[in-house]
């Protein structure tokens, strides 16, 4: 059971989808420089919730991705690029394998 | 056969323990506890590894039925959590045991605090980690138990986050303070200073749910300014319906000469964007935040908006809207309004707002100009004030 890893491009797509829950921006915009500075608490909450759902929805066979998120982590992000970097570096895989594993 | 002396047996035991530590240590970088509070509350007991992980598996015949782990209190052997292989999460550099907390397991958080008695992880089979360099390591149940004994437990901040924020409320607590200089309109050579605050903290629990205390308002060196108001509220968000809230509190003037009690029931949501002033620039246009509802308002003095001391029904709204303008400018407006048939006079609608115009730099935002204006619903007086040339960092 190999551990697939998602890259910068996939992380950016997930963040883009989550951002659409709380904001509008051109589809072709370079989102990496967008700032979280003017998000109020409610924007942050909805964005974080959407981001977590997007990450979990990425499946690989019977496994799915996960990421640890909490307010302290999110408040440390200054720009969207910080968020993307965090996802790439802290992605987790949750296994859902019921078959026998031979090693 | 002559039995080995106790001392020799003890030495063998320590050598055995040492060998476990040394072999696992070759692959282990550190131990860490992570917490998640978004959409669910989870604690991750994480083994940070020296090598990049490629695969994870178990030596058990069947990953689901053959492999399990338990979080066990060391003293009384009480089982605090039972997990399966599905609760093992694997990262690029780590393997974690995920402990999912439900609302009914809040006591568990306190039991897992640093300084409290430790819990250990017991597994029913080996956990095997294969690395990208082709090597692998087999963590035996004995090794995992021994390693898990070295976790410090939840630190104070992690305990606070898990305890205070149930799912969906993670950003409720805040401590925002702002300081500004006001233009004195009567005498422009004179200046007044304004201190505004917005603080929300958990206060008590009702049926296991947090009730928050909030303090909001602005006070200044000119206490006669009617825009200087303070509010102290207790608020409750309905479990599972985080967007619906109930709150009760005091609203009134800075010097407490005018006071009222207010009880609100309402809804929070994001509305569609109304305008686009970016002129095609690729800016992030946040959707406007709206908090709206109905409330009961009772004043302590008759000389007020209602001109009575009855319990008055009020409809209200609060909004926050960040509007990017062209490439680098922005406007932020906070507006609030209320309507009541019971308001004295013909005007049944009261409105207050502030508008900030600022300049966005790549790293922060500078306030260029701010205006506050409106009519307050406590004593029905209105005022306007301008703050200019602050050029200070905004919303850190």
Q: Are B352 and B336 in contact (CB under 8 A)?
A: yes
Smallest CA–CA separation between B116 and chain A, in Å? 23
Residue of chain A whose Cα is closest to the Cα of B173: A41
Residue A38: list chain B partners with CB under 8 A: 286, 322, 330, 332, 365, 395
Smallest CA–CA separation between B33 and chain A, in Å? 11
Best residue of B32, B35, B284, B333 to probe chain A, by most A CBs closer than 10 Å: B284
Contact A41 B171 (CB under 8 A): yes
Residue B59: list chain A partners with CB under 8 A: 103
Provide the domain limits for residue A82: 8-94
State the Cα–Cα distance between residues B271 and B282, nearest whole angstrom. 21
In a domain, A100, yes or no: no
Contact B36 A68 (CB under 8 A): yes
State the Cα–Cα distance between residues B40 and B112, nearest whole angstrom. 18
In a domain, A78, yes or no: yes
Indicate whether this complex's ipTM tops 0.85. Answer: yes
pTM over 0.90: no
Show pLDDT as tens, one digit a residue, over chain B (396 residues): 455 566 666 665 555 555 455 566 678 888 999 999 888 889 999 999 988 888 777 777 666 667 889 999 887 888 888 888 888 888 888 999 999 887 556 678 878 887 777 789 999 988 888 888 888 889 999 999 999 888 888 898 888 888 766 544 556 566 677 777 766 656 666 677 888 888 887 777 776 666 888 898 888 888 777 667 888 999 887 755 457 889 999 988 887 877 889 999 999 899 999 899 999 888 999 999 999 999 998 887 756 677 777 888 999 999 999 999 999 999 999 999 999 988 888 888 989 898 999 888 776 777 777 888 887 666 666 777 777 655 444 444
Report the CATH number that the domain containing residue A54 is assigned in CATH.
1.10.1200
Strand boundaries in B85-228, DSSP class E: 88-91, 94-101, 119-123, 127-131, 136-139, 174-183, 191-206, 209-220
Contact A68 B44 (CB under 8 A): yes
Q: In what side-by-side order are the strands of the sheet with B229-237?
A: B174-183, B191-206, B209-220, B229-237, B244-253, B259-270, B289-299, B312-325, B329-339, B349-360, B365-375, B382-388
Strand pairing partners for B351? B337
For chain A, the domain total comes to 1
Q: Domain B174-388 carries which CATH code?
A: 2.40.160
Residue of chain A whose Cα is closest to the Cα of B157: A72
Residue B355, token pair as written in the block: 């508008």
| Residue B100 DSSP code | E
Instruction: Convert the pLDDT of each residue in A22-48 to its tens digit.
Output: 999 999 899 998 999 899 888 998 999
User: Which among A30, A72, A95 has the least Cβ separation from residue B282?
Assistant: A30
In a domain, A1, yes or no: no
In a domain, A99, yes or no: no
In a domain, A101, yes or no: no
């Amino acid at each position: 059971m190999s551990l697939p890893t998602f890259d910068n491009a996939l992380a950016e797509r997930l963040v883009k989808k989550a951002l659409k829950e709380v904001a509008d921006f051109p589809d072709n915009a370079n989102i990496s420089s967008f700032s979280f500075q003017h998000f109020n608490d409610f924007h942050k909450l909805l964005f974080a919730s959407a981001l977590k759902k997007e990450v979990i929805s990425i499946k690989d066979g019977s496994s799915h991705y996960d990421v640890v998120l909490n307010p302290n982590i999110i408040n440390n992000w200054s720009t969207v690029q910080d968020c993307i970097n965090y996802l790439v570096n802290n992605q987790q895989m949750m296994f859902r394998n019921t078959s026998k594993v031979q090693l | 056969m002559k039995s080995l002396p106790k001392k020799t047996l003890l030495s063998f035991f320590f050598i055995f323990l040492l060998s476990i530590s040394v072999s696992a240590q070759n692959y282990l970088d550190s131990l860490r506890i992570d917490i998640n509070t978004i959409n669910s509350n989870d604690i991750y007991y994480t083994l940070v590894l020296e090598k990049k992980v490629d695969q994870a598996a178990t030596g058990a015949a069947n990953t689901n039925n053959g492999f399990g782990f338990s979080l066990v209190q060391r003293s009384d052997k009480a089982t605090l959590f039972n997990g399966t292989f599905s609760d093992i999460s694997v990262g690029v550099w780590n393997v974690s045991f995920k402990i999912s907390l439900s609302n009914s397991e809040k006591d568990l958080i306190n039991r897992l605090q640093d300084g409290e008695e430790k819990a250990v992880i017991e597994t029913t089979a080996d956990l095997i980690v294969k690395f990208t360099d082709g090597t692998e390591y087999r963590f035996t149940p004995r090794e995992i138990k021994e390693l898990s004994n070295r976790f410090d437990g939840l630190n104070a901040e992690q305990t606070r986050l898990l305890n205070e924020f149930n799912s969906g409320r993670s950003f409720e607590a805040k401590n925002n303070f702002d300081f500004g200089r006001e233009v004195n309109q009567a005498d422009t050579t004179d200046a007044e200073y304004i201190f505004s605050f917005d603080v929300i903290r958990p206060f008590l629990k009702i049926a296991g749910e947090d009730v928050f205390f909030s303090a909001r308002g602005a006070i200044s060196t000119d206490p006669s300014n009617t825009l200087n108001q303070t509010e102290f509220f207790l608020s409750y968000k309905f479990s599972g319906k985080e967007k619906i809230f109930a709150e009760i509190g005091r609203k009134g003037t800075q010097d407490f000469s005018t006071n009222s009690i207010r009880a609100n029931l309402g809804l929070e949501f994001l509305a569609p964007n109304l305008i686009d002033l970016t002129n095609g620039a690729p800016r992030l246009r946040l959707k406007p935040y709206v908090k709206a509802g109905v409330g009961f308002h009772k004043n302590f003095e008759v000389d007020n908006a209602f001109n009575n001391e009855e319990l008055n029904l009020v409809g209200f709204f609060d909004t926050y809207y960040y509007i990017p303008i062209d490439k680098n400018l922005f406007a932020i407006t906070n507006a609030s309004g209320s309507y009541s048939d019971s308001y004295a006079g013909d005007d049944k609608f009261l409105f207050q707002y502030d508008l900030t115009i600022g300049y966005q730099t790549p790293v922060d935002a500078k306030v260029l100009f701010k205006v506050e204006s409106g009519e307050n619903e406590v004593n029905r007086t209105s005022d306007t004030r301008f703050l200019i040339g602050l050029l200070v960092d905004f919303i850190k």
